[in-house]
């Protein structure tokens, strides 16, 4: 049963867009609406359902959503494939949501649903920038959420039980989601001061974090702002997007294993464009083959099934690292050389001959003393002659290696000043 409004709806604060399929989640959406309004926030319900007729009054009807996608609702309903039909409705929903945002009517988005509703809601949310409030209440939130979250800051709230009716569980979960989006929308974004400092994108994992921490500290002391990306697939994708949008002034790509995972079947695959953005934009770049000593995969039993007869390191119950073999190291060196050959700006490649990660050290479980030199020799042969490649007698996490990275990037900044 909807709760009564505790506060009058503010005319000054932006409202919330509630994305739902009202044919299947109507009662639950209305309860969510009442919870948000109870916090004094106006709500615009967007109905993207495709079954029958919309049973509840809404701000944006399913007919309007379909028209925004260039079709009428009857055409969408005749598609015959629910996935393709939802793609059309998602396209229209994004158009409607952006229109409301341009008009200053909404300052956040909330959605609810199962697999289809989550696909719809997060599809709209991913069209909005980082920092714009996004909350998705979903039956899918306890599973792999990467397809839904992508590279955006979407808050996923697990519904625990099916979103079917208002009961003692859904009541609490929906209300918590409502309170979350209301609090986000009320936040004064003027507290986030814009920075005029050069922005450096830095990639790492915990296995190269000693180096990353030293690099970050040194670059910040030199007057830069550093944004660090955790290279678990989505992290690398997010970094590439930041660079493509022109928001980064330089990059230190310290953790390149997402490229290895893409080509050899690891779990931390960031897609075919990983590593390209900085080189194509021509911003100063330092590349390090950090973490190329392993592929990331799931539990040990899965690693043994997918990569039989290899060297393994159980990082934890959910993650096993598989040692890259020499032929893979050779292929990676050639792949990276090909990427670097297309570079348009200042580029340095630094290779730590003492090892590529904390596990690739004399004390580590995946140590291979010959692999770094093999990588360096192969890359030198394949690399464009004017690209600077330095081999250094350090481990990747040695402080001296971190300072060599900082020195190389500083020289690149000076070359374009």
pTM of the predicted model, to two decimals? 0.84
Looking up tokens 């055409």 gives 75
Task: Quote the mean pLDDT of the chain.
Answer: 93
Q: What is the pLDDT of residue 281?
A: 95
Q: What is the pLDDT of residues 116-139, one digit of tens each?
A: 999 999 999 999 999 999 999 999
Q: What share of the chain is helix, strand, coil (3-state, %, to 5)?
A: 45, 15, 40
CA distances (Å), origin 274, targets 243, 269, 288, 367:
11, 9, 14, 26
Other Cβ atoms closer than 10 A to 333 = 23
Q: What is the distance between the alpha carbons of residues 392 and 185, in angstroms, rounded to a whole number?
A: 50
Q: What is the pLDDT of residues 223-253, one digit of tens each?
A: 999 999 999 999 999 999 999 999 999 999 9
Phi/psi of residue 143, nearest 5 degrees: -100, -165
Paired tokens of 295: 């592929």
Q: What is the pLDDT of residues 311-323, one digit of tens each?
A: 999 999 999 999 9
Q: What is the pLDDT of residue 194?
A: 64
pLDDT over threshold 70, residue 159: yes
Angle between helices 326-341 and 257-264 (to 10 degrees): 110
Q: What is the pLDDT of residues 8-54, one digit of tens each?
A: 444 457 999 999 999 999 999 999 999 999 999 999 999 999 887 77
Question: Which residue would you say has higher pLDDT here, 137 or 190?
Answer: 137
> b/e string for 264-275 if b means 16 or more Cβ within 10 A?
bebbbbbeeebb
Q: What is the pLDDT of residues 56-67, one digit of tens each?
A: 999 999 999 999
Q: What is the distance between the alpha carbons of residues 36 and 19, in angstroms, rounded to a whole number?
A: 13
Phi/psi of residue 276, nearest 5 degrees: -90, -30
Whether the Cβ atoms of residue 315 and residue 321 lie closer than 8 Å to each other: yes
Looking up tokens 């931390």 gives 268
DSSP letters along 126-184, please? Answer: TTS-TTS-EEEEETTTTS--HHHHTTS-PEEEE-SS-S-S--HHHHHHHHHHHHHHHHH
Q: What is the pLDDT of residue 190?
A: 58
Question: Band of the pLDDT at 7, cuts 50, 70, 90?
Answer: very low
Q: What is the distance between the alpha carbons of residues 342 and 263, in angstroms, rounded to a whole number?
A: 19
Q: What is the pLDDT of residues 325-346, one digit of tens each?
A: 999 999 999 999 999 998 999 9
Strand order in the sheet with 199-204: 225-230, 199-204, 250-253, 285-287, 347-352, 388-392
Q: What is the pLDDT of residue 187?
A: 77
Angle between helices 168-186 and 22-37 (to 10 degrees): 60
Q: What is the distance between the alpha carbons of residues 133 and 125, in angstroms, rounded to a whole number?
A: 9
What are the structural domains of the chain? 15-190 (3.40.50.12020), 199-416 (3.40.50.12030)
Q: What is the pLDDT of residue 6?
A: 44
N-terminal to C-terminal alpha carbon distance within the chain: 64
User: What pairs with residue 201 in β-bridges?
Assistant: 227, 251
Rounded mean pLDDT of 99-112? 96
């Amino acid at each position: 049963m909807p709760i009564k409004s505790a506060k009058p709806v503010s005319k000054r604060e932006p409202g919330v867009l509630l994305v739902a399929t009202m044919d299947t989640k109507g009662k639950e959406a209305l309860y969510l609406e009442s919870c948000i309004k109870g916090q004094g926030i106006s709500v615009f319900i967007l109905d993207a359902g495709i079954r029958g007729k919309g049973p509840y009054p809404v701000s944006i009807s399913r007919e309007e959503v379909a028209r925004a996608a260039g079709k009428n609702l009857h055409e969408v309903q005749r598609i015959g494939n629910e996935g393709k039909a939802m793609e059309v409705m998602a396209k229209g929903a994004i158009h409607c949501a952006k229109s409301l945002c341009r008009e200053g009517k909404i300052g956040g988005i909330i959605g609810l649903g199962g697999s289809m509703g989550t696909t719809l809601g997060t599809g709209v949310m991913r069209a909005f920038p980082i920092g714009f409030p996004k909350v998705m209440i979903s039956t899918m939130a306890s599973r792999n959420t990467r397809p839904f979250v992508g590279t955006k800051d979407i808050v996923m709230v697990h519904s625990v039980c099916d979103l079917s009716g208002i009961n003692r569980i859904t009541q609490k979960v929906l209300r918590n989601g409502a309170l979350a989006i209301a609090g986000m929308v009320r936040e004064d974004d003027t507290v986030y001061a814009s920075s005029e400092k050069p922005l450096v994108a830095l990639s790492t994992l915990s296995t190269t974090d000693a180096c990353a921490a030293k690099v970050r500290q040194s670059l910040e002391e030199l007057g830069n702002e550093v944004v660090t990306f955790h290279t678990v697939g989505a992290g690398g994708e997010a970094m590439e997007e930041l660079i493509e949008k022109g928001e980064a002034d330089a990059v230190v790509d310290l953790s390149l294993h997402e490229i290895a995972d893409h080509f050899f079947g690891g779990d931390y695959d960031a897609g075919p464009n990983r590593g390209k953005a900085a080189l194509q934009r021509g911003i100063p770049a330092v590349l390090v083959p950090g973490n190329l000593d392993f592929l990331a995969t799931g539990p040990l039993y899965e690693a043994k099934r997918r990569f039989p007869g290899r060297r393994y390191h159980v990082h934890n119950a959910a993650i096993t690292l598989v040692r890259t073999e020499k032929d893979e190291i050779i292929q990676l060196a050639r792949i990276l050389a090909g990427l670097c050959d297309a570079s348009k700006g200042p580029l340095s490649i630094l290779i730590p001959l003492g090892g590529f990660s904390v596990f690739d050290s004399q004390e580590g479980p995946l140590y291979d003393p010959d692999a770094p030199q093999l990588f360096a020799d192969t890359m030198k042969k394949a690399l464009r002659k004017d690209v600077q490649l330095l081999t250094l007698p350090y481990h990747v996490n040695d402080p001296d290696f971190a300072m060599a990275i900082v020195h190389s990037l500083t020289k690149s900044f000076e070359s374009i000043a």
